[in-house]
Amino acid sequence: MVKPSFQNSPVEGKFVYFSDLSCYFQLLIKRIFIYITRYFTTSQAEIKVISSLLSFIHNKKPGSLSNEPGFFPTLL
């Protein structure tokens, strides 16, 4: 049996990793927004725009500028 390593865990002996939790919550929030937009809008184009915007925000590094060239043409 392989023993799990607890190097990155905040509490000794617990299977809790901050990076895994933050990634899980980001994906959960993204899915909730996609389901809300599918419920309230009937246009697939609007869903694609909102989901691409969410994926852009999700992949964005904190502290970087949001006015990059080519940001708005990729959404249209």
Ordered DSSP codes for 26-69 = HHHHHHHHHHHHHHH---HHHHHHHHHHHHHHHHPPTT--S--T
Confidence of residue 23 (pLDDT cuts 50, 70, 90): confident
Let me know the angle formed at the C-alpha of 60 by 56 and 62, rounded to the nearest 5 degrees. 150
Mean pLDDT of 5-26: 60
Does 19 have pLDDT greater than 60?
A: yes
pLDDT at 75 over 70: no
Neighbours of 1 (CB within 10 A): 3
Instruction: Give a yes or no: residue 67 inside a domain.
Output: no
Domain assignment present for 29: yes
The verdict on residue 70 lying in a domain is no
Phi, psi of 64 (to 5 degrees): -90, 160
- Which residue would you say has higher pLDDT here, 53 or 46? 53
Question: Is residue 8 in some structural domain?
Answer: no
pLDDT grade, residue 60 (50/70/90)? low
Mean pLDDT of 49-56: 79
- Domain for residue 24, yes or no? yes
Domain extent at residue 24: 17-55
Domain tally, the chain: 1
Is residue 34 situated within a structural domain?
A: yes
| CA 74 – CA 69 distance, rounded (Å) | 10
3 belongs to a structural domain = no
